[in-house]
Structure 1
Amino acid sequence: MSKYTSFPEPIEDHNPFQDPAVTQHSSNTGYATLDLYNPFDNKTGPPPPYEATSPSAPPLPAQTPPSRTTPTEPRNYGSYNSKPVVSAATAELLRKQEELEKKARELERRERELESHSLGPGASRQNNWPPLPSFCPVGSCFYQDISLEISQTFQRTVTIMYYFWMFSAGTLLFNLISSLAMFCVDPSGGVGLGLAILWALLFTPCSFVCWYRTVYKAFRSDSSFNFFAFFFIFFAQVVVFVIMTIGIPEWGFSGWIVSLAALKKSVPVGVIMMLNAVLFTAQTAMGVVMLKKVHSLYRQTDASFQKAQAEFATGVMSNQAVRQAATTAAQGAFAAPR
């Protein structure tokens, strides 16, 4: 049957390790030396050390060529016009947001100032007006801080009233100088000089206490009583300003009548008194304007005549001197014999 098959005849005592494929594999030195170790070999000794073959470097990735722009293709170099166009409605919302944030910062600033100036139990706020040096034996009489105690809406008005009071005090001082100049020319006008000194000493502190401090407290605490007191007192002050502007002789005011009469006696003195008359006129006009201004702001507040009455009654009853007098009168009425 061997002639009909393609397999060769088996050979007896064939050594499988003498196969050409095995001998070729054993003679290849490119493999690890551990593969050449035969554990069945009779030779003694440790196995040969392992020699690792150097790994081959991984292939580099293929780099894509940089894209080239055509001559007609525009390049973006980061121009300033790359921001999106903001619509008018969005701009209005941003503006309102900025205003709200500004108001919030202002409220936080005022709150911090109020906290820093807050009074503890038994403490008192130190007066700061008039600003006097530390070595002066007389201390300040009032405390005022327009930026802290007055609302931001009314700060400008209160500040103008403060400067207007200073202007009035300066006008009275200039009136004293012009009356003194007139007395030097005509010694018979000593009455006018004496009254000018009296008006300067009287109106300067009284105007500060009576109408400036009144309007200051009215805007500080939204007091209806102080508003009505200011209107009554300041209206009388405006009437006095009109009398000052007229310049009735021997009343101590260098108004228009006295100034025109002084031109006949001395031209330089008459010019000085006419300048004083111009200041009196500006003072009167400014007083009328500020009276209307404060009245318009008063109508924007919650003040009323009923609140003014309630505040007056509360202030009178809270006064320690008034309560003591009322208690003494009541005790005397009950103790009187019938």
Structure 2
Amino acid sequence: MSKYTSFPEPNEDQNPFQDPSVTQHSSTTGYATLDLYNPFDNKTAQAPPPYESTVPTAPPPAQTPPNRTTPTEPRNYGSYTTQQSAVSATTAELLKKQEDLERRARELEKRERELDAHALGSGANRQNNWPPLPSFCPVGPCFYQDISVEIGQNFQRTVTIMYYYWMFTACTLLFNMISSLANFCVDAGNGGVGFGLAILWFILFTPCSFVCWYRPVYKAFRSDSSFNFFAFFFVFFAQVVFYVIMTIGIPGWGFSGWIVSLATLKTSIPVGVIMLLNSVLFTGQAAMGVVMLKKVHSLYRQTDASFQKAQAEFATGVMSNPAVRQAAATATTSAAQNAFSGQR
């Protein structure tokens, strides 16, 4: 046993640091600290290395936090002029939207009133709006017309085309009157009669075509009237035939057709060119008439109209006329009085 296993004697001066296990490690510098030294480890014959102080590394630089505004910190909303212009633009846009909504509301209200008046039937008070005459004119409008209100969605396009077609025929007759006037200026002997008839055709055909074939087709699509369909077919077919005669241009009839136009080229080229333009308009008018006649007839076949319904509508319309009923009553009374007088 080691001598340190028992208490030493008082006279023995023993230095515990002179122990061989300690001295053999103190002479080496293999360990840096005493914490790594294990005196009971005999596997290592070298002493711990000397302690080396490590240089402390510098802490990483502090990152600047993002610039965040606080509730008490004022924000930069731009200049006063920019803010004022933005507010003005927003206000103008809101006012525009408000005016648009008010306009639509007025249109819807007007449409509802017109639909209510149309639902009441012919006895409803509807203000005439065609022709659109100025207020100072002593003569007021004669008809009420609103395609978007009175005509069904499926037939609005056709009725609108027929309305523009009537306007086109009126403008063509007006141009025919101008070209006849030009012909009368270069050929007073033969152009006088044509110019007079051209004025007559314009005055006669413009209102009569509106009343005789446009209004029947308008009322036919409005109320699915068989009688108006047949009236339109009869009058418009005759009108198309007359348009073909206009296109031919028979001399002395007052139409600047192809024959008269080509003959006028020998007298005056400028007047002949004007009349040739009128002949082109007459040709387009006649061709468009044939196309629209077939178009309306195809739509007529899709409806419930028939000749029997047309007869019934005609009889009902005639008997509902107050003048006809008064005349019938008067004739019946007279016949009865004559029969009673004859028996006496």
Q: TM-score, normalised by structure 2?
A: 0.65
The Cα shift of 1:121 comes to: 11
AA aligned opposite 2:184: F
Q: Which residue of 1 aligns with 2:199?
A: 197
**Structure 1 residues 158 and 122: CA distance shift in structure 2, 3 A:** closer
Q: Which residue of 2 aligns with 1:69?
A: none
Q: Is the contact between residue 179 and residue 193 of structure 1 (CA under 8 Å) also seen in structure 2?
A: yes
CA distance in structure 2 between the partners assigned to 1:142 and 1:115 by the alignment: 18
The Cα shift of 1:113 comes to: 5.1
**Where do 5+ consecutive residues of structure 1 fail to align?**
1-108
Task: Report matched runs for 1:126-275 at 5 Å.
Answer: 126-188=127-189, 189-275=191-277
Aligned with residue 296 of structure 1, among 295, 298, 302: 298
Q: Indicate the SS of the match to 2:265.
A: helix
AA aligned opposite 1:276: N
The Cα shift of 1:181 comes to: 0.1
Q: Is the contact between residue 222 and residue 303 of structure 1 (CA under 8 Å) also seen in structure 2?
A: yes
The Cα shift of 1:133 comes to: 1.0
Q: Is the contact between residue 182 and residue 269 of structure 1 (CA under 8 Å) also seen in structure 2?
A: yes
The Cα shift of 1:136 comes to: 1.0
CA distance in structure 1 between the partners assigned to 2:156 and 2:318 by the alignment: 29
- Runs of at least 4 residues of structure 1 off by over 6 A? 109-112
The Cα shift of 1:154 comes to: 0.1
Task: Report matched runs for 1:52-71 at 5 Å.
Answer: none
Greater Rg, structure 1 or structure 2?
2
CA distance in structure 1 between the partners assigned to 2:169 and 2:155 by the alignment: 21
Q: Which residue of 2 aligns with 1:319?
A: 321
Work out the percentage of aligned pairs sharing the same amino acid.
82
CA distance in structure 2 between the partners assigned to 1:166 and 1:130 by the alignment: 12
CA distance in structure 2 between the partners assigned to 1:121 and 1:312 by the alignment: 17
Q: How many residues are paired up?
A: 232
The Cα shift of 1:115 comes to: 2.9
AA aligned opposite 1:242: V
**Structure 1 residues 171 and 155: CA distance shift in structure 2, 3 A:** same
Q: TM-score, normalised by structure 1?
A: 0.66
**Structure 1 residues 325 and 278: CA distance shift in structure 2, 3 A:** same
CA distance in structure 1 between the partners assigned to 2:290 and 2:216 by the alignment: 17
**Where do 5+ consecutive residues of structure 2 fail to align?**
1-109
Q: Indicate the SS of the match to 2:132.
A: coil
Q: Is the contact between residue 117 and residue 125 of structure 2 (CA under 8 Å) also seen in structure 1?
A: no
Q: Is the contact between residue 257 and residue 278 of structure 2 (CA under 8 Å) also seen in structure 1?
A: yes
CA distance in structure 1 between the partners assigned to 2:251 and 2:269 by the alignment: 18
CA distance in structure 1 between the partners assigned to 2:208 and 2:114 by the alignment: 31
